[in-house]
């Protein structure tokens, strides 16, 4: 199976930056999509960003477009989320996720991702 381990969370001031990492191990292949979700207290888990391993195509939630950048390192089987211009509203536990999709389909629904990391806390203060 696929195992995911997130790291890089922490406490930052509004306007600051943070980079999250997610290292994958197991049977990942080109059909997989790796993404980031976040969940704030009392809120549902929401989609943040995703990247297709096959071609590197990226997807972003409207709330983070222009501020966050997702990228991959094929050699390390690692996906990154560079978060800039952070806002207090970005405070949440961030989860790395992986799912197997067809070449031309990528999902933003948590239920369609089969594998999840343990989460890393991101706190943005005023």
Report the pLDDT value the prediction gives residue 105, as an integer from 0 to 100. Answer: 79
The CA distance from 97 to 113, in Å, is 6
The CA distance from 86 to 13, in Å, is 8
* pLDDT more than 70, % of the chain: 99
Report the pLDDT value the prediction gives residue 102, as an integer from 0 to 100. Answer: 81
User: How confident is the model over 45-88, as pLDDT tens digits?
Assistant: 999 999 998 889 999 999 999 999 999 998 898 999 999 999 99
pLDDT band at 17 (very low <50, low <70, confident <90, very high): very high
Sign of CA dihedral 61, 18, 123, 86: negative
Report the pLDDT value the prediction gives residue 12, as an integer from 0 to 100. Answer: 98
Report the pLDDT value the prediction gives residue 54, as an integer from 0 to 100. Answer: 84
């Amino acid at each position: 199976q696929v195992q995911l381990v997130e790291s890089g969370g922490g406490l930052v001031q509004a306007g600051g930056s943070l980079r999250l990492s997610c290292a994958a191990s197991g049977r990942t292949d080109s059909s997989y999509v790796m993404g980031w979700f976040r969940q704030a207290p009392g809120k549902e888990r929401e989609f943040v960003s995703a990247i297709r391993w096959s071609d590197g195509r990226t997807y972003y939630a409207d709330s983070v477009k222009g501020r966050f950048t997702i990228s991959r390192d094929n050699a390390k089987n690692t996906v990154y989320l560079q978060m800039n211009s952070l806002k207090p509203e970005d405070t949440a536990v961030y989860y790395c996720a992986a799912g197997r999709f067809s070449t031309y389909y990528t999902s933003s629904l948590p239920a369609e991702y089969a594998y999840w990391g343990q989460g890393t806390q991101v706190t943005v203060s005023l």
